[in-house]
Each structure stands twice: as structure tokens, then as C-alpha cells.
């Protein structure tokens, strides 16, 4: 590596620990102040370093902008894949990665259940990768809807007051089950509860023979960008039994959020896997 490039990168890394004077920057890379000044001025010209009023240097906005662009370019499916696999390997149930698109969830990835036989009661093709499902009737959809800004959630609920197709999509989807939420106000209350506790349940609401739990994956802004869910046939696991896996599910989404570059909250992580994360301030 070029010595100049190496020194510039070293200065940037050191400024990540906090602002530094010219003398401190020079000392950190072991060069004369004039050499450090040339490097800092070049970095400043490109927006990677900013000089404060107290004459100390700190990281510049260009660096944060590039970092944000890099994080946005990360494929959440690629990041989450190994974590989904571990969750599936540990419990054998189907694990999904989903995102919100309009009033539906889109299945981005899926790790199939490892049961001796699925039988007719399993979800199967209806949850394959690329398939869509009504957000209001799925655990994954609920956690993603619950994290929407107030205006977007209000718009969704307003549409829910339209004919049934606007609330639970009919085309190519299973009919709503007796457990499906039909009333917008009931859904509003449910989503408020989901937002408060940080996870959601689908008790045979999307498919009459399937139970599911889900939790949100946080992105760079601290808001939900995807959801991870565990699904099982009713005959294999009740909601109560699935709920016992919540600590592991929540720890998994924290790990994915951290790997993606988000700002995870502790929840059960510290107790389950020892991870200690800074608490994220809640949105108003």
C-alpha cells in the first residue's frame, strides 16, 4: 500500500475516536506536522475531514455519506441468510425473510422446515420466495406495519376501510380465516401492541393450518427494513410453543440488524447470547 494512502487511512481511523489537533494527528501517524497538515488539507478538500472552530479536525460529512450509500447497497437477504439458516437448524421450523410492499409482504428468502413429512396442513407453495401475502394477516406484515410512520400507517388503515380486496388481497392468496382481523380499528390496536412489544403473532390468520411469530430487522435509520419469522403447522407447534422461541428470534434479528449496520436494541440479547448493544432512542 502507498505510504501516503496508508497515512491518510490511519488519520481517518484515528479521527473516528474523536476530534484531534494537528499535533495529535501527526503524533498518531508518526510524521512531522507539515506532512500531517498536507494530508489533512487534502482530506478536507474532498470532504472526508472537517476543521472545527477550535482548530481540531474531525471526520467530514462526505465520509458519512459514502458509508450510508455503502450500507444501502448491502443486500439484506445476503446478510440475513446465515442467521436464518442457524435458526432453522436449531428448531427445524420454516424461517422467512420478508419486506413490506404496499399492503403486502414479499418473501425475500426462505429456509424450508425439516419435518419428516409436511402433509397437507403445511403452507408450502404459498410462502415460496417471491410470493406475496396480505400484511395485515401475517406476523411479518404486522411488525413492518407497526413500524410505519404515523401518516403512512393512517393511510394504510384508511384503505382498510375500503372493500375487502384492499384489506386482505384475494387474488392468488388463501381466503381469510376465522382468525383474520377484519376491522381497521382492531388492527390499529393490534399494531400498537406489536410496536410496544417488538414482535407479532399470526395465529392461523393467513393460513388456517399455520402459526407464525415474527420480529423486525432494523436498518441504518433504526426503523424496520425487513422481518424475520418462524412458521410451523398448527399440528406441529401451537402459538404458545412458538412463543418459547421468541428470545432466540429476537436475538437473531438483533444480530442481523447489527451485521447490516443498524442500531440494535438489547431486548433479550444480553441474556441469551451476551451481546451488549447501545439502546436506540425510540421515535416520537
Chain segment 114-166, per-residue pLDDT in tens: 776 654 435 555 667 878 888 888 999 999 999 999 888 888 888 765 344 43
What is the average pLDDT across 2-10? 84
- 117 neighbors 71 (Cβ within 8 angstroms): no
All domains of the chain in start order, with CATH: 3-71 (1.10.10.10), 74-272 (3.30.450.40)
Q: Which of 191, 147, 197, 141 is nearest to 169 (CA)?
A: 141
- 115 neighbors 144 (Cβ within 8 angstroms): no
- Residue 26 reports pLDDT greater than 70: yes
- 216 neighbors 147 (Cβ within 8 angstroms): yes
For the whole prediction, is pTM greater than 0.85? Answer: no
Q: How far, in Å, CA of 199 to CA of 226, rounded?
A: 12
Chain segment 60-93, per-residue pLDDT in tens: 888 777 765 665 555 888 889 999 998 898 888 9
Amino acid at each position: 500500500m502507498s505510504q501516503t494512502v496508508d497515512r491518510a487511512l490511519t488519520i481517518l481511523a484515528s479521527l473516528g475516536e474523536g476530534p484531534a489537533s494537528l499535533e495529535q494527528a501527526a503524533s498518531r501517524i508518526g510524521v512531522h506536522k507539515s506532512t500531517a497538515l498536507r494530508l489533512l488539507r487534502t482530506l478536507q478538500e474532498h470532504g472526508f475531514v472537517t476543521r472545527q472552530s477550535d482548530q481540531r479536525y474531525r471526520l467530514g460529512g462526505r465520509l458519512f455519506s459514502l458509508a450510508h450509500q455503502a450500507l444501502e447497497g448491502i443486500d439484506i437477504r445476503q446478510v440475513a441468510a446465515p442467521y436464518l439458516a442457524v435458526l432453522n437448524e436449531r428448531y427445524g421450523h420454516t424461517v422467512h425473510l420478508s419486506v413490506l410492499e404496499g399492503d403486502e409482504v414479499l418473501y425475500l428468502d426462505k429456509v424450508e422446515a425439516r419435518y419428516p413429512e409436511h402433509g397437507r396442513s403445511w403452507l408450502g407453495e404459498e410462502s415460496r420466495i417471491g410470493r406475496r401475502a396480505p400484511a395485515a394477516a401475517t406476523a411479518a406484515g404486522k411488525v413492518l406495519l407497526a413500524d410505519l410512520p404515523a401518516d403512512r400507517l393512517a393511510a394504510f388503515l384508511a384503505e382498510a376501510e375500503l372493500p375487502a380486496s384492499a384489506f386482505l388481497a384475494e387474488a392468488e392468496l388463501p381466503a381469510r380465516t376465522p382468525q383474520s382481523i377484519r376491522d381497521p380499528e382492531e388492527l390499529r390496536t393490534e399494531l400498537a401492541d406489536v410496536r410496544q412489544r417488538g414482535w407479532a403473532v399470526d395465529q392461523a390468520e393467513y393460513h388456517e393450518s399455520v402459526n407464525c411469530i415474527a420480529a423486525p430487522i432494523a436498518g441504518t435509520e433504526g426503523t424496520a427494513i425487513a422481518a424475520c419469522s418462524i412458521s410451523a403447522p398448527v399440528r406441529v407447534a401451537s402459538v404458545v410453543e412458538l412463543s418459547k422461541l421468541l428470545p432466540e428470534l429476537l436475538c437473531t434479528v438483533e444480530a442481523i440488524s447489527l451485521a447490516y449496520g443498524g442500531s440494535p436494541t438489547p431486548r433479550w440479547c444480553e441474556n441469551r447470547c451476551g451481546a451488549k448493544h447501545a439502546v436506540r432512542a425510540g421515535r416520537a
